[in-house]
Amino acid sequence: MFIDRAKIYVEGGPGGNGCMAFRREKFVPRGGPSGGDGGNGGSVYVRASGQMNNLLHLRYNQHQTAERGRHGEGSCCHGKSGEDKIIEVPVGTLISDFDTGEIIADLTEPGQMALVAKGGRGGRGNAQFATSTNRAPRRHEPGQPGEARYLQMELKILADVGLLGFPNVGKSTFISVVSAARPEIADYPFTTLVPNLGVVQLEDYRSFVIADIPGLIEGAHEGKGLGLQFLRHVERTKLLLHLIDVSEFSGRDPVQDYETIMRELRFYNEDIASRPQIVVATKLDVAQDPERVEALRAFCAAHQLEFFAISSVTGENVKPLVYRVDQLLTHLQTVKEPVINLQPTPDWDDSLNPEP
C-alpha cells in the first residue's frame, strides 16, 4: 500500500517534578534543603531517511509521544531526562501544522531533522530556592508539560523529471525501458495506481530520476480520475515530459490531448504548468496515420515547444530523448534551482485519519 499522506499527533514528554527534601544526616547539623530538580521531558523529532518510500508506518501509529522526565530526589539528585522520540519519514516529506497550516519543515536531504514537539522543562527542587534569608525553603516546582499538536505529513517525491499524460499513453512502458523500474503495464486505463520512480543511468556515472504518476483525465481538478491526488509528486521536478498517444487506437486528437492536460495542470498549479517541458509523441510503432504526428509537431513548433516522436517498444528515438533530457537538466541546474511549492495540498480527507 502506498501512503503519501498522514495525520499524526505528537507530544513532547512532560518534565519531572522538583523534589522537596532536607538533609538529615548524622554529624551534619542544620543540613538544609536537598531536593533535586526534575529531568527535562524528551522532544519529538522527524528525520528524513533514504530507506523509506512512503508514510504507511504512520497511518497505523498516529500517536507519537516522547518519554517523560523523571522526578527529582533527595540528596540533590536530579531526575533523568526523558529519551527523545525520532520519527523516520521518507526524503521529500513536507511537515505542516494541521490546525494552522504553518510549514514546519521540508525534509529534502537524508539525515535532515526537524524538531516538531519540544519536551517540557523539569521543575526545580527546593535546594534551588535557598537564600541567605530563607535557608529552609519549602518551595518546589512541578514539571512543565511538553508541546503537543497535530501534524500533516505529506510526501512529495524528489525527482528530476515528471511524466504527464492521459491514462494508457505509454508512461509506464517508457519508464520501464529507460530505467530499472518495473511498473505494471497493461492495455487498459489506470494501470498505474501509485507513483513509480525510475533512475536513468548514463555514461560517466551521470543519472537522473523520473517520476511516473497515474494518468490525468479531463475534469481531474474536480476530483475525477486518480492523477490529481498524485500531482504533488511532480511539484519538485525540474522538467516535464508530456507523453501523448498519436496512434488511432486512442480515439482522441493529440493536440486536444495536450491542451486538456495543460488546462488541468493550470487549474491545479500554475507553477507546474509553466515548467520547462518536452512534448513526446508515443506509440509510433502502431501509428498508421502520419498526419496525426505531423499535426502535433506543427502545433509544438507554433508554440515553441520541444518535440520528440518515439516508440518505447522498438526503441525509436528513445536514446536521443534521454540524452536531450540530461542536457536540459544540466542546463537548468546551472541556471537556477527549481521553484518548490511549499504549500500543503488543501484537499485533506479527515475520514482517513480520525482524531484519536
| pLDDT tens digits for range 211-264 | 887 767 665 555 565 555 667 777 788 888 999 988 888 778 889 989 988 888
| CB atoms inside a 10 Å sphere around CB 18 | 26
The CA–CA distances, whole Å, from 273 to 28, 239, 268 equal 79, 11, 9
Computed over every residue of the chain, the mean pLDDT equals: 83
Whether this prediction's pTM lies above 0.75 is answered by no
CA end-to-end distance (rounded Å), the chain: 22
Residue 5 DSSP SS3? strand
CA 6 – CA 48 distance, rounded (Å):
15
Pure H helices in 126-253: 171-178
Instruction: Provide the pLDDT for residue 127.
Output: 92
Residue 148, pLDDT > 80, answer yes
Q: Map grid coordinates 503537543 to a residue.
A: 148
Cβ-Cβ contacts under 8 Å for 68 (sequence gap 6 or more): 13, 14, 15, 16, 41, 42, 82, 143
pLDDT at 78 over 60: yes
Q: How far apart are CA 165 and CA 172, in angstroms?
A: 11
Domains within the chain, CATH numbers bracketed: 5-155 (2.70.210.12), 161-335 (3.40.50.300)
Q: Return the residue matching grid coordinates 529519551.
A: 83
Contact assessment for residue 124 and residue 139, using Cβ atoms and an 8 Å cutoff: no
Q: How far apart are CA 87 and CA 83, in angstroms?
A: 13
> What pLDDT was estimated at residue 273?
83
Q: For residue 309, give Cα distances in angstroms to 81, 102, 197, 243, 246.
A: 63, 44, 23, 10, 9
Name the range with the highest mean pLDDT among 38-47, 100-109, 239-248, 298-307. Answer: 38-47
Q: Is 264 exposed, middle or buried (0-12, 13-18, 19+ CB in 10 A)?
A: buried
Q: Dmax of the chain from CA atoms?
A: 106
Amino acid 137: pLDDT: 92
Q: What is the rounded CA–CA span in Å between residue 166 and residue 250?
A: 10
Picking from 8-12, 168-172, 225-229, 254-258, which range would have the lowest pLDDT averaged per residue? 225-229
Residues 6+ apart with CB under 8 A from 288: 247, 248
Fill in the DSSP letter of residue 316.
Answer: B
User: Which grid cell sits at 40?
Assistant: 527535562
Cell triple for residue 73?
A: 530526589
- Cβ(241)–Cβ(208) below 8 Å: no
CA angle in degrees (0–180, nearest 5) for 178-155-233: 40
Q: Whole-angstrom Cα distance, residue 194 to residue 211?
A: 10
Q: Which carries the bigger pLDDT value, residue 266 or residue 142?
A: 142
Mean pLDDT of 112-126: 94
Residue 16, pLDDT score: 95
Residue 345 has pLDDT above 60, yes or no: no
